Structure 1
């Protein structure tokens, strides 16, 4: 049987697939669950808060899906292994596993407690490891499957005052690349990455915030539903990576063309924001335990004010490109 024929045979229609989503209680995870529910998938939804998961399951069931909730902390490897077991029992196989669960943290590096840095790395990086470690054996046994790792522009450009978060996103990129290389001899097992710019999720409310300033995502802001739609397309046509939003492209481009200038621009934009931002109490957010508020799809940050932020980001990218051009011209 040819390689092409093999790939066609194992790709099931969405309504026949069993799909696991971590971080399904809010934001991108919740939006993705609801988007997939409209196709009649079997959904296994995981997060830390049962009441919120049950709400999402109810919505998905009403849309025509068969969904179950499995309360799971992705930092607990044994719990994630049980999640995979429950998913396989429920769906008879696992077609897709989507690692979305993640948390944010902002603050000057040494002002942030070390245990907070560690928790972000455990959730955003080891949580993805735990997911892959649990599901890849099923994929190998089936000889097919798709693992999708939700990343961000932070996987390409280092964000100041967000050291642990950036480290986790760089780590996920390297993890995906290495695992993808291991899977070369398994052509129907796909390791996919989604890189998005700033998305309109409740993330800033759930994030640990040690800056003493109110957090808002930097425009241009991407609708959560757009990311969910891209994930569905990735399930239907797996590829190594997809980038969503102009800021993700600019982050990658700036880092390639002129990383030093990009770092300088990001630092100045961030410092300028903190000078003008409203004060807000320091908080651990939801990094150690679930938050009691704002478990929904959107954060409500999308607005026409995105134009000003877009101009700043475009300015950084333009400066980087100009700097690179001058360097090349000098060398020539």
Structure 2
């Protein structure tokens, strides 16, 4: 009996401790804990931020905010993801995935965890008018390309007051962004120059309840919820939620089949970074309103152009209004 009492007391202490840690993490993220203001991505000096630029314009009115977000298991649950207008999913080293969230209509208080940029991000962001890119750093050889790209780069080395590290997560999965310190307000829908069209669903398609997109070491599943009129997002077999416990959902899911090739860059383990080509044309599947449209074509002639999606008869493929997820998958 005494042993049972001790076991119950131990379980009670563990439950209480877990709840207190979760509450402390949420409080620290909301308040903007400032245990460190610089990136500590891999601890090996492999990722660098550009030197501070006192003359840099951090107002960026009229441009979207794009944030590179960590997406390994240790980085979840995310913060600020549900407020994004577009979420891009891209393959990175070792077959894992990373997210790029794009904000135009609303800026949440906190976004993250924030991670490093990749070369193909520059091509992807070319469809926006000088976007602001928030990221934790990049390989030293990539930084000159970022500096020359038509965007406003805002890593911690340039905007240290906009970032903080939470003591309740391990580095490098604990860097968060306070977007209000980069931009005075959300730029609005006019900044979304992607070429996406929203409106009534076209005819055709087929009923679809679930779709899974697989990378070598990651998978994303989208399950239709008629009651919510949304696709419920799951990552690596687990329902995706934010730190406030809300389910991550999407109104429209685009599986865009693209060419994925090896880039000239690799991480400290020797894993080469995949380069995802988003200029060109190809096939796509669009999921909306519980139906799948698998015979869609995408086209983006130049890096400065948006991406158009058309049905088999050449008409625009309308998306359902709300958050759009674009999963950049390797073409078969």
Task: Give TM-score, length-normalised by structure 1.
Answer: 0.30
Structure that is richer in helix per residue: 1
Task: Give TM-score, length-normalised by structure 2.
Answer: 0.30
Structure that is richer in strand per residue: 2
